[in-house]
Structure 1
């Protein structure tokens, strides 16, 4: 394992599970100090007061991984407005507040930095039942692009990653996935069946694979990349 992030400070939201946990683990293994923000630990990304209180801890931040999110899978005609607002609040408002906090700190210390926003292929490709989630992730992609333009004069790079299917605990809260698990006999079998149907590569990504892609976008190897959206969907959007 390299030490390419040695002595650097990374903020990771949604770091308690899935892509966030895998990314925090990878960056820490490569020398970074991690500040994690997760609702399960009483830190809500949608709370401006929380970000104000956290600001002193972020004063020397080098990286931010904007990853906290919730899923939603309801047809438009059945969407409850409260659920719509909850999805936009966590996925889009939370992303804005995270980026704002990171950019404020990076501009103040003057060394620049790198930010990666976890979007989704749902923000690019339309599918029935994904209106709330897809709209929030489309918003996150544009937010990242605007942040990249505003951050560039300060040496701040901002990119997004748009995964397709990734094996994370987020699937476990979906009713249709629970039905597939019961029908096919195991979680692994359900994931494999979805991947075969949806992606030319015939497989989902692991959280660890996605973490390595995020780490690349943060690293000096991506020093000339900003405002980009890395599509990592196994060919689903083709």
Structure 2
């Protein structure tokens, strides 16, 4: 059972916190009693717009792929209880046509940035206890044409979470991943195909049309994803580690 103040007095790190799943996680953690939040994103205005109540909030503007950012954050993260490894960017195009520069652009944020976030979070948790959720994707489980770098990066972070879970279980630190399917977030707005569809039918209709590819015929909301992430972070999931939880409306069936 989820308790409304289950994170009372605890500290949490959320990357990609300015919008979408990250912002929803920040709001939910604050609402459930978190005492200290460390938020990281390149979007300062998005983070500033978050109303997180009386919670102590540190808004860090920068890229998760910047190693110097994490070295500077280490003192602030000391004694960390929870982390949401969420920051990511999208990409489109066939593998045969993608440039190495585009491949590296995506990997720098989605994989290298996730590695730096996870590694520094685990060090901050020291000997535990603690919990981490890495945001992967069903595109890391099911091959979807046209998004090669994104799908590969998400497959990698899911496996990274499982390795980290095995390495840190004895310390009482749990590491899980969540693999969302379609979620109505701003990441879609980066794709040229989606932009064209929005121009033709409008954004709401575009999301509804894409949602028809799932058996439940719906895309999830960021709040729904945040609720699942908070479950995995919380004490109700105390016996769950090394798990990749799929929440996709049946997309991978």
TM class, shorter-length: over 0.9
User: Equivalences for 1:117-196 in 2 at 5 Å?
Assistant: 117-184=134-201, 186-196=202-212
Alignment match, 2:250: 235
| Distance of 1:133 and 1:2 partners within structure 2 | 34
Question: Counterpart of 2:197 in 1: which secondary structure?
Answer: helix
Tell me the TM-score normalised to structure 1 length: 0.96
Q: Give the C-alpha shift of residue 130 in structure 1.
A: 1.6
1:144-195, CA deviations, whole angstroms, 9 ceiling, x for partnerless residues?
Answer: 00000011011100000000000001111111111111222x2111100110
User: Equivalences for 1:27-106 in 2 at 5 Å?
Assistant: 27-32=29-34, 33-41=36-44, 42-106=61-125
Q: Does 1:22 align with 2:62?
A: no
Tell me the TM-score normalised to structure 2 length: 0.91
Alignment match, 1:210: 225
Question: Counterpart of 2:231 in 1: which secondary structure?
Answer: helix
Aligned length: 234
Segments of 5+ residues of structure 1 without an aligned counterpart are: none
Which structure is higher in helix share?
1
Alignment match, 2:214: 199
RMSD, matched Cα: 1.0
| Distance of 2:63 and 2:188 partners within structure 1 | 21
Q: Which is further off, 61-70 or 168-177?
A: 168-177
| Distance of 2:226 and 2:68 partners within structure 1 | 29
| Distance of 2:71 and 2:252 partners within structure 1 | 39
